[in-house]
A and B are shown apart, each in its own frame.
Chain A
Amino acid sequence: MLESVSWVEKNFNEAPDAIFIFRDDQLLVSNYAARTLQADYALSTAYITKLMNSVVQQQSSRTDDCFNCAALDQAKPAIPFTLPVKDGHPLSFFLVYSELDAAKKVYSLTLKSNDLLQRVDQLAQQRKLVQYVNRAHEEERKRLSQDLHDSIAQGVYSSIMGVRHLESTMAQADPTAFAHQTKLIESQLYATLQEIKGMALDIRPSVLDSFGLPAALKALAKRLEENTGIEIIVVAHDIAELKLSEDVQTVLYRIAQEAMTNAIKHAEANEINLILVAHEHEISLEIIDDGTGFNVKEHVSFNGHSLGLLNMNERVKSLHGTFQIKSEKGSGTTVTASFPIA
């Protein structure tokens, strides 16, 4: 029994949240975190007592706007609370108040650091995002390696076999067979060449570097149209004079790619509209599809599929842009990204 009391005490002392226990207006016990907080910010016990007291009174006076409120009675009050600190940033907390002994007026106050909670959330989110990006990298490598092995190596190999066969037709001195064989090898090499070009385009569109974003978007749309049979309409004005940074152009291109891929893969779209417009001090890209749509709220949180969207959002934010997805079941999806321009 004694031992377990010491454990409880140890736990209390080492808790990351600052915990104070009061009777009436007197501070009875506080844990290590609470004492450090007091010491770090030179807060006198009397000051804290006063502050807490007023907060508690604010909470217990039910006269403000809610009478006989069942929800308020049941909820353990967790009050967002900012501790004003002299010569420094105010500290944001969540203040949890619980009555330990109503008769003796003993109550405890726990200060949960708001920053800490948010930080934990952010960290978890970041970790998932890093995981997702890594996995996407790995997937891409896998696909490239497969493509190299399956199509290009295969094409070169069959050309080699063709040349060998050519030698034997030479030996037989058969001109028709020879002509036929050269034609065959030529067609194989052409096909391989096309595949190499296609792969290069998939990895990084050289059009983007040499002819700019509108041309790259048109080329991307044409390629997707050819691969899927879905109609893609591109409206892209000439934006050469805006001198967009390479980063912004790349992000806009990738967003167009991701949004269109999503529309084709998941939304069964029949038609996609892609609009790139420059306004005064802003450039915006809209991708509108007529597919099945989805409930955006359900997909904003982590569920494995929406990380692509989240990743797009992060990329846009890092360049000071805004990113928005509007969608409803049965009425298509609109993805919008815009960036401020000088």
Chain B
Amino acid sequence: MGDKKLAADLAYQELVRTIYQQEDFDFVGIALQDTTSWRKIHWRYAAGNTSQRFRKIILRSGIGIAGLVIRTGEPFLENDLAHHQYAGYMSQPITLIEQLTSAVAVPIFDQDHLVSGVLLAGYRQQQRVTAHSGHVLQEYLQPFQ
């Protein structure tokens, strides 16, 4: 069991690095939801991060981009994060900490087809994300589902 978890760990770390290297995103990260009763959401893996502060963020379902995607199971796409409906330090800490101007996020499903996490990628210099960027991320997730 421990080995399996370690393998998943490595695989996710490898995944964010691969996406960061092959695509032109400024930041790529994965948040996972705890399976314990608290069901907290942490950002676990990142590439292109400016600091380690993202590790301190703890989200609940429905809060933050990751919380929103986990709640709805739907992809998230935003090109004007500063003026987004839920903009603000409380609702989108990851965009604030990593100074993202646009971001796309897709749900990660487990074997039971439950949302277990979020794969997010974003830009810092006003480049736009599109539905296509979401599809690209989903392609990368294929082997994990």
**Could you tell me which A residues sit within 8 Å of B by CB distance?**
150-151, 154-155, 180, 183-184, 187, 190-191, 194-195, 198, 225-231, 264-265, 270
Contact partner of A194 (CB less than 8 A), chosen from B60, B90, B96, B114, is B60
**What is the count of residue pairs linking A and B with beta-carbon distances less than 8 angstroms?**
62
B24-70 contacts to A, CB under 8 A, are 37-39, 53-63
Pull 10 A–B residue pairs with CB atoms less than 8 Å apart, ordered by A: A187-B39, A191-B62, A194-B61, A195-B60, A227-B63, A228-B90, A228-B97, A229-B56, A231-B56, A264-B89
Write out the residue numbers on chain B whose beta carbons fall within 8 Å of the beta carbon of A151.
62, 71
Interface residue ranges of B74-131 to A (CB < 8 Å): 88-90, 93, 96-97, 112, 114
> What is the predominant secondary structure among interface residues of chain B facing chain A?
loop
Q: How far is the CA of A231 from the CA of B88 in the complex (A)?
A: 18
Measured CA separation A226–B54 after assembly (Å): 10
CB atoms of B112 and A180 under 8 A apart: yes
The answer on a CB contact under 8 Å between A187 and B57 is: no
Query: Are B39 and A183 neighbours in the complex by a CB distance under 8 Å?
Result: no
Known contacts: A191-B71, A198-B60, A226-B57. The answer to whether A183 contacts B112 by CB under 8 A is yes
Take A184-B114, A187-B114 as given contacts and tell me if A227 and B39 are in contact as well, using a CB distance cutoff of 8 Å: no
Closest 6 pairs (CB-CB, A-B): A226-B58, A229-B53, A191-B61, A229-B56, A151-B62, A229-B57
Name which of B56, B59, B97 has the most chain A CB atoms within 10 A of its CB: B56
CB distance from A160 to the nearest CB of B (A): 16
Kindly provide the distance from the CB of B140 to the nearest chain A CB, expressed in whole angstroms.
25
Flag if B62 contacts A150 (CB, 8 Å): yes
Task: Give which listed residue, A154, A187, A191, A227, contacts B93 with CB less than 8 A.
Answer: A227
Q: Name the A residues within 8 Å of B96 (CB-CB).
A: 228
B8 to chain A, nearest CB (A): 19
- The listed residue (B60, B97, B112) touching A191 by CB distance below 8 A is B60
Considering the chains assembled together, what is the distance between the CA atoms of A225 and B93 in angstroms?
10
Q: Is the interface of A mostly helix, strand, loop or mixed?
A: helix
Which of A184, A195, A227, A270 has the most CB atoms of chain B within a 10 A radius of its CB?
Answer: A227
Number of interface residues of B (CB under 8 A): 23
Complex contacts, B88 vs chain A, CB 8 Å: 265
Residues of B within 8 A of A270 (CB): 53
* B90 touching A227, Cβ below 8 Å: yes
Scoring B37, B56, B62, B96 by chain A CB atoms within 10 A of each residue's CB, the highest score goes to B62
Q: Are B89 and A227 in contact (CB under 8 A)?
A: yes
Query: Which B residue's beta carbon lies closest to that of A151?
Result: B62
B117 to chain A, nearest CB (A): 14
- Are A229 and B39 closer than 8 Å at their CB atoms? no
Q: In the complex, are the beta carbons of B39 and A191 less than 8 A apart?
A: yes
CB-CB under 8 A from B61, the residues of chain A are: 191, 194-195
Chain B residues whose CB sits within 8 angstroms of the CB of A265 once the complex forms: 88-89
Q: Is the CB of A190 within 8 A of B62?
A: no
Closest residue of chain A to B113 (Cβ to Cβ) is: A180
Q: Which residue of A lies closest to B43 (CB)?
A: A229
Let me know if B56 and A225 touch, CB within 8 A: yes
- Complex Cα–Cα for A40 and B88 (A): 59
| Residues on the A chain within 8 Å of B63, using CB | 227
Taken together as a complex, chains A and B put the C-alpha atoms of A113 and B60 apart, in Å, by 59
Q: Which of A154, A194, A225, A229 contacts B97 (CB 8 A)?
A: A229
Cβ A227 vs Cβ B57 within 8 A: yes
A61 to B85, CA, bound (A): 67
A264 CA / B58 CA spacing, docked (Å): 16
Please measure, in the bound complex, the distance between the C-alpha atom of A301 and the C-alpha atom of B131, giving whole angstroms: 47
CB pair B112–A228 under 8 Å, yes or no, is no
Query: Cβ of A227: which chain B residues have Cβ within 8 Å of it?
Result: 57-59, 63, 89-90, 93
A183-B112, A226-B57, A229-B53 known; A190+B37 contact, CB < 8 A: yes
Question: When the two chains form their complex, are residues A195 and B62 in contact, meaning their CB atoms are under 8 A apart?
Answer: yes
A264 to chain B: which residues have CB within 8 Å?
89
Q: Which of A150, A154, A230 contacts B53 (CB 8 A)?
A: A230
Shortest Cβ gap from A79 to chain B (Å) = 52
Set A194, A226, A230: member contacting B39, Cβ < 8 A? A194
Hey, which chain B residues are within 8 Å of A187, CB to CB?
39, 114
**Alpha-carbon gap, A191 to B60, bound state (A):** 7
Residues of A within 8 A of B38 (CB): 190, 194
Chain A residue contacts of B71, Cβ below 8 A: 151, 154, 191
